[in-house]
Amino acid sequence: MLRNLLKLQRDRMKLFMNLFMSGLFLFIFSFIMKSAAPGMDHPMNYLISGIIIMTVFQSALSNSMNILEDITSGVMKEILVAPITRWQIAIGHVLSAMVVSVIQGLIIVIIGMFMGLTLSFLSAIAMVGLMLLVGLTFSTLGLYLATLSKESSNFQLLIAILSFPLTFLSGAYIPTMALPTILMPLVYLNPLTYTTAAFRFVTLHMEGTPVSGLVNAGVAFDVNGFIITPLLSLLFIGLLCALFFVLCVNRFNSADFSRVKTFKHVR
Q: Give the tens place of pLDDT for each residue, 45-64.
A: 788 888 888 889 888 888 77
Dist. CA 196–CA 172, nearest whole Å: 6
The one-letter amino acid code at 158 reads: L
**Predicted TM-score (pTM) of this structure:** 0.82
State the pLDDT at residue 35. 61
- The full DSSP string for 150-216 is -SHHHHHHHHHHHHHHHHHTTTSSS-GGGS-GGGHHHHHH-HHHHHHHHHHHHHTT-TT--HHHHHH
Residue from 148, 146, 224 nearest 184 by CA:
224
Least confident range of 82-86, 130-134, 198-202: 82-86
State the pLDDT at residue 265. 46
How confident is the model over 161-173, as pLDDT tens digits? Answer: 888 888 888 888 8
Percentage of the chain beyond pLDDT 90 is 16
